[in-house]
Amino acid sequence: MSEPVADIAVIGLAVMGQNLILNMNDNGFTVCAFNRTVSKVDEFLANEAKGTNIVGAHSIAEMCSKLKKPRRIMMLVKAGEAVDAMIEQIVPHLEPGDIVIDGGNSEYHDSNRRAEELAKKGFHFVGCGVSGGEEGARYGPSLMPGGSEAAWPHLKQIFQKIAAKAEGEPCCDWVGKAGSGHFVKMVHNGIEYGDMQLIAEACDLLRKAAGLDYDQMAEVMDTWNKGELDSFLIEITANILRFKDENGKHVLPQIRDAAGQKGTGKWTCFAALDYGIPVTLIGEAVFARCLSALKDERVEASKRLPRPNVDASKIIPDKHAFIHKISKVRILTIWKVSFFLYRCYSFT
């Protein structure tokens, strides 16, 4: 049997997994790639990973044999039953002290359970929130690891080196025990739900109350993005507002106004209810998505219920002052929600 060469293994070769592996490789770590559909391993090695130090495995046994000890195995698979199924397959090949990391969007109660179950067998479990999307995974995500603290010295160098940097400091540190990492990621996603809803409502006010067209709204977003509201969401909102099709027409009004959701906003609300924390903004953001999904009902209601007849010029005498007030409401509301949510986290 050949000598173990890999510093860490990553299971799951969707775009997030591939990008995280390439990021680790760029930062000097040898990664073993594995996927349930093993043909994807060969495809990845022959294309995106060609010419790198990345190695592949066609079985979990082979993957584990290529890992330095203690073994570090990071899963990027669909949250829920798939995580439990993968852990069940990995465990027979582990030794006490090995580390299993769940980098998916798992519910924090599941991470609490998995940490407890693996600890009984002598293994370390880490639930790690990963933020930043595909681009972040490739060039620097925000990482939120929590679980068995004994695992952290073996992960710190890798995680902090591949993480995004803010003022020279890595956007990654140890969060806490058991499901803490996924709790923080859930909070992050909940705040994002609220932020996106506030942006949507701000756009509605800019359009219907202030009477701005899409290009003017984009200019407002550009201005906001140069100040206190500087963020990726504001930046892409400006781009969306001004985007036009091949006929020179704005694309936004052509898109069906029905939002989807993956459930993390709902989880945040459940946790807040459990701990008695009033995250009303996030709750309303979740319900707004539920309401937007009822497209047929909304269309029918619009035929039966007349719109209010409001002359915006009479209630908004100073358009510029009105726009400024919208931006300030966003800042204050998000900070208020953040305070309550992180207070909620401190109870776990």
Question: 214: closest CA among 161, 163, 253?
Answer: 253
Report the alpha-carbon distance of residue 323 to residue 321 in Å, rounded. 5
Non-local (6+) Cβ contacts of 175 within 8 A are 144, 145, 146, 181, 183, 184
| Other residues' Cβ atoms within 10 Å of the Cβ of residue 87 | 20
**Taken in order 82, 85, 90, 91, is the CA torsion positive or negative?**
positive
Annotated catalytic residue, options 40, 66, 185, 266: 185
Active site annotation includes 185: yes
Is 122:100 a contact under the CB 8 Å cutoff?
no
Non-local (6+) Cβ contacts of 138 within 8 A are 19, 20, 22, 23
Q: What angle do CA 154, 159, 164 make, to 5 degrees?
A: 165
Amino acid at 103: G
Active site annotation includes 192: yes
The half-sphere exposure of 325 on its side-chain side, counting CA atoms within 13 A, is 9
Q: What's 250's DSSP letter?
A: B
Alpha helices in the chain (DSSP H): 15-26, 39-46, 60-65, 81-90, 108-120, 133-139, 152-162, 180-204, 214-224, 232-242, 264-275, 280-293, 295-304, 312-315, 319-346
Annotated catalytic residue, options 62, 192, 201, 297: 192
Is 103:75 a contact under the CB 8 Å cutoff?
yes
Token digits of residue 71 = 């073994």
Amino acid at 222: D
Non-local (6+) Cβ contacts of 225 within 8 A are 231, 234, 235, 238
The set of catalytic residues is 185, 192
